[in-house]
């Protein structure tokens, strides 16, 4: 069962071929980081234009690398949302055109489902998440806690009230004058700093729900940058203390969700799951709540946006015969249902 998938929801053009929802035959990505870096963030028009330029050459390469032709493809997966509308449309319309021309079923994958299923990619068969699961998806656009009883049976149990965790990293990086992409650069600098040097709150620490809030942290960082002389050392300490506050806030609610829902497995995913401190702390802290819980962290290459994860999620839709029609429309605010 081979699925061809497209991912163009933001600034990465991704095309992949994945077998049986797990075995990655090809996973090609054109990262537009260099094109957006001079602007300090993603420029939607530049993103869409470059998706258009890259998508067909990447399709050709992805098929070639996977050593397949259109005859071998069973279905085509695409992302109607959430994401940037002009970017989403490129992947979506390409997938629809191919579905029509090649007469292959079309699969609609919510971008967050893709992140969720990144934990199924390229692991040995025994080692796959077992339901029920609690999943924490932390990306540039989302900070979401999910409880899933079974495949594609998602219940959102917590989310951010304002900024996403990745956004907090990116905005923090900008305040510290770090280049785009902010998250990885702030995290790199934080490695050399003292996380106890500056005092940051843990927003919503004691709230009874499973929600998050990060916009206050950013304001605190701004205040610290205005009241502290920014030397290379204080920048490192600010980065370390700020990062610690973000990760701690994520951990507090992740642990609470695990205690409340008693899952068999805990899954981390989304761009911020590439963060070394978050990965380390999840492994260390979650078993304090349920000692024999199975923890899954995506392989680093599947943390940030990629098309292989869309194929992995598409496979579950295919198994449930949940096919989309050619009327499928892009929806920048698509909710997980």
Other Cβ atoms closer than 10 A to 239: 28
Rounded to 10 deg, the angle between the 232-261 and 215-227 helix axes is: 160
Taking a C-beta distance cutoff of 8 angstroms, is the pair 90, 8 a contact?
yes
Report, in Å, the least distance between residue 182 CB and ligand KG4: 5
Question: Considering Cα of 191, then 194, then 199, then 205, what sign does the dihedral take?
Answer: positive
Report, in Å, the least distance between residue 108 CB and Zn ion: 16
The Cα 128–Cα 294 span in angstroms is: 9
Report, in Å, the least distance between residue 191 CB and ligand KG4: 10
DSSP code for 336:
P
* CB-nearer residue toward ligand KG4: 163 or 220: 163
87 binds, among ligand KG4, Zn ion, none (CB under 5 to 8 A by kind): none
* CB-nearer residue toward ligand KG4: 183 or 263: 183
Residue 139 touching Zn ion (CB under 5 A): yes
Residues that bind ligand KG4 (CB under 6 A): 10, 139-141, 166, 169-170, 181-184, 187, 270-272, 274-275, 304-305
181 binds, among Zn ion, ligand KG4, none (CB under 5 to 8 A by kind): ligand KG4
The Cα 113–Cα 79 span in angstroms is: 10
- Residue 336 has φ and ψ, to the nearest 5°, of -80, 125
* CB-nearer residue toward ligand KG4: 129 or 182: 182
Report, in Å, the least distance between residue 305 CB and Zn ion: 4
The Cα 176–Cα 193 span in angstroms is: 13
Q: How many CA within 13 A on the CB side of residue 144?
A: 21
Residue 7 touching Zn ion (CB under 5 A): no
Q: Give, in order, the Cα–Cα distances in Å from 240 to each of 176, 259, 290, 297.
A: 12, 28, 28, 22
* CB-nearer residue toward ligand KG4: 27 or 275: 275
Report, in Å, the least distance between residue 69 CB and Zn ion: 29
* The one segment of 28-36, 62-70, 138-146, 308-316 that binds Zn ion by CB under 5 A: 138-146
* CB-nearer residue toward ligand KG4: 33 or 53: 33
Map tokens 């963030």 to a residue: 41
Strand partners, 145: 136, 158
Residue 305 touching Zn ion (CB under 5 A): yes
* CB-nearer residue toward ligand KG4: 81 or 184: 184
Residues touching Zn ion, count (CB under 5 A): 2
Q: Give, in order, the Cα–Cα distances in Å from 92 to each of 76, 96, 280.
A: 10, 6, 36
State the residues that interact with Zn ion by CB under 5 A: 139, 305
């Amino acid at each position: 069962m081979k699925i061809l998938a497209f991912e163009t929801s933001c600034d990465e053009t991704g095309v992949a071929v994945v077998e049986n929802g797990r075995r990655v035959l090809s996973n090609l990505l054109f990262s537009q980081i260099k094109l957006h870096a001079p602007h300090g963030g993603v420029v939607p028009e530049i993103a869409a234009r470059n998706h258009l330029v890259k998508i067909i050459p990447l399709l050709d390469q992805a098929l070639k690398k996977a050593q397949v032709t259109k005859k071998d493809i069973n279905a085509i997966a695409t992302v109607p949302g959430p994401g940037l509308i002009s970017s989403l449309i490129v992947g979506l319309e390409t997938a629809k055109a191919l579905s029509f021309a090649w007469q292959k079923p079309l699969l609609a994958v919510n971008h967050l489902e893709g992140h969720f299923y990144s934990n199924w990619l390229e692991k040995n068969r025994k080692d796959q998440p077992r339901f029920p699961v609690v999943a924490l998806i932390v990306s540039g656009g989302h900070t979401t806690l999910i409880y899933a009883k079974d495949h594609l049976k998602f219940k959102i149990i917590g989310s951010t009230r304002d900024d996403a965790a990745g956004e907090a990293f990116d905005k923090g990086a900008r305040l510290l004058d770090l280049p785009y992409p902010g998250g990885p650069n702030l995290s790199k600098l934080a490695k050399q700093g003292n996380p106890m040097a500056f005092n940051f709150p843990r927003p919503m620490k004691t709230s009874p729900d499973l929600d998050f809030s990060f916009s206050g942290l950013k304001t605190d960082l701004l205040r610290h940058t205005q009241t502290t002389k920014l030397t290379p050392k204080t920048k490192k300490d600010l980065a370390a203390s700020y990062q610690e506050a973000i990760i701690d806030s994520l951990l507090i609610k992740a642990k609470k969700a695990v205690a409340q829902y008693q899952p068999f497995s805990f899954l981390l995913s989304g761009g911020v799951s590439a963060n070394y401190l978050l990965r380390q702390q999840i492994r260390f802290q979650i078993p304090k709540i349920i000692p024999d819980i199975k923890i899954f962290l995506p392989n680093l290459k599947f943390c940030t946006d990629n098309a292989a994860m869309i194929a992995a999620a598409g496979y579950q839709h295919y198994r449930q015969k949940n096919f989309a029609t050619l009327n499928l429309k892009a929806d920048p605010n698509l909710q997980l249902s």
